[in-house]
Structure 1
Amino acid sequence: MPYRRLPNTDSARLKALKSASEMGKDLPPFKLAFSQHSYRRIQSVLPGFEMAIQEHRNSLNNQADKNKEYQKRLRKIRIYISHFIQVIHMAISRGDMVPETLEYFGLSDEDRKVPSLNSEEELICWGQKLIEGEKQRLQKGMSPITNPTVAVLKVHFDKFMEYHNYQNSLKRRCQIAQEQLNEKRTVVDSLIQQLWNEVEENFRELPEELRREKATDYGLVYVFRKNEIGNVSQFQTSRIQSNV
């Protein structure tokens, strides 16, 4: 015997609500298989659900689109920070700077390696350290680091931070849209279950196959188990899904 399967995707939820809504428009209240109260709830819930789906989709698309430029900025600032640190180490190796110069930037004299710059947090941390350290050196009249200079580094760092903050705002917007959509889904799932219960209750006196046929007109979905497929008629197959 096929079982009723509630929708588990947004497209299936929309289809279920719209099917019920169309029946509510086409039939007079006394012929409708669900209550007018449920019909009014459909009219109230459906527009907000569609809007929440669209807002979530737009926020995801916008975040993905802006992320392309953000990744370019991220790669660029990683290169500039790495080169700035390498220039410091090379200047010390040549004797142009004393090893104590590293203290201004929070760098270690032990391994003379570029620190990890894999994460965004590490890039922000080292970018701030380098800019502040060079600022202190210049205030003391020391020779500036060049190729790149701190001014060039700061331009790229500020641009990176601008995109970083904007990307975070897009992430927050996406999270809010996801939370709002989840809330709508809970309401919609409850409404669909109520609608389908009312429809099945309305047709409870009909023979089983006719009851399912009538119910599917309202958007209800019935699924045959795999071992039942062989016994399904061509007519039934067109109206009832298989759980394969």
Structure 2
Amino acid sequence: MPYRRLPNTDAARIRALTNAINKTMSMHPDDIAYSYKVLQNAKFFLPTFKTGINYQRADYSQSVEKNSNYNSLQKRAKMYISHFIQVLNMAIARDEMPADARSFYGLEKFTKKLPPLTTDDEIIAWGKKLIDGEEARVQQGGNPMVNPRIAMVKIQYDKYVNAYRSNSFIQSKNERAFEYVQELRQKADDIILSIWNEVEQTFAHLPAAEKRKQAEEYGLVYVFRKHEKPEDNGNN
């Protein structure tokens, strides 16, 4: 026998609810194959479900665009931070600066290794250390670093930090939207299941083929297995 296939995509859920509602449009309430209460739930819920899905899609599209910009700014900020430290190390190697100048920036006195710049927290932390450290060193009479100047580092750093904060907000918003839509999907599934169960119960006294035919008018979907043919199941 064919089996009933409940919707498992948003488009299929919307189609199932729409079909179940549309079937009743010109019918007397007493003739509808499922309860008036479930019908009202479906009518009130469907617009909310559509709106929730559309909002989530819009939020996702926005996040993709914003994330692309964020990645670009992150890469650029990381490059300026690492270049600044490399130039500092070269100045120390040429004896243009003492090795203890590294301490202004939170770097170890005798290391030439770049600090880890893999995560957002690391990039943000080291960017701030360089900006604050350069200001403190210059205030104590040191010559400003060039190529890049700290002002250029700060410009790229600030752009990145702003993008990071915006990206974090969007991610949090997307997570909330996803959770909300998951709740809507569960409610949609519950309403559809109630409709389908009640419709099948209403037509349970009919022969199998006729029952399926009547139920399909309410949006129920039946799937025949590979070895089955619809014409072979007319009396099943």
Q: For the superposition of Structure 1 and Structure 2, which TM-score range results when normalised by the shorter chain?
A: over 0.9
DSSP-derived class of the 1:170 partner: helix
Partner of 1:230: 227
Matched, 1:57 2:57: yes
Partner deviation per Cα, 1:40-99 (whole Å, 9 max, x = no partner)? 111111011001101110100000012222222111111101100101100110001111
Query: In 2 relative to 1, CA 235–116 (structure 1 residues): closer, same or farther, beyond 3 Å?
Result: farther
The one-letter code of the counterpart of 1:152 is M
Query: In 2 relative to 1, CA 235–26 (structure 1 residues): closer, same or farther, beyond 3 Å?
Result: farther
For residues 76 and 109 of structure 1, the distance between their equivalents in structure 2, rounded to whole angstroms, comes to: 26
For residues 197 and 84 of structure 1, the distance between their equivalents in structure 2, rounded to whole angstroms, comes to: 68
The one-letter code of the counterpart of 2:112 is R
Query: In 2 relative to 1, CA 235–17 (structure 1 residues): closer, same or farther, beyond 3 Å?
Result: farther
2:224 and 2:230 in contact (8 A); partners too: no
For residues 83 and 40 of structure 2, the distance between their equivalents in structure 1, rounded to whole angstroms, comes to: 65
Matched, 1:161 2:132: no
2:203 and 2:214 in contact (8 A); partners too: yes
DSSP-derived class of the 2:147 partner: coil
Q: TM-score, structure 1 length as denominator?
A: 0.91
2:67 and 2:167 in contact (8 A); partners too: yes
The one-letter code of the counterpart of 2:30 is F
Partner of 1:204: 204
Aligned length: 233
The CA RMSD measured in Å over matched residues stands at 1.6
2:99 and 2:110 in contact (8 A); partners too: no
For residues 210 and 108 of structure 2, the distance between their equivalents in structure 1, rounded to whole angstroms, comes to: 80
Matched, 1:45 2:49: no
Q: How does 1:1-244 map to 2 (within 5 A)?
A: 1-225=1-225, 229-233=226-230
Q: CA deviation at 1:234?
A: 6.0
Q: CA deviation at 1:101?
A: 0.9
The one-letter code of the counterpart of 1:147 is N
Query: In 2 relative to 1, CA 140–235 (structure 1 residues): closer, same or farther, beyond 3 Å?
Result: farther
The one-letter code of the counterpart of 1:59 is D
DSSP-derived class of the 2:223 partner: strand
For residues 65 and 130 of structure 2, the distance between their equivalents in structure 1, rounded to whole angstroms, comes to: 31
The one-letter code of the counterpart of 1:150 is I
Q: CA deviation at 1:26?
A: 3.2
The one-letter code of the counterpart of 2:121 is E
List alignment gaps of at least 5 residues for structure 1: 237-244
Q: CA deviation at 1:30?
A: 2.1
Q: TM-score, structure 2 length as denominator?
A: 0.93
The one-letter code of the counterpart of 1:54 is N
For residues 152 and 231 of structure 2, the distance between their equivalents in structure 1, rounded to whole angstroms, comes to: 72
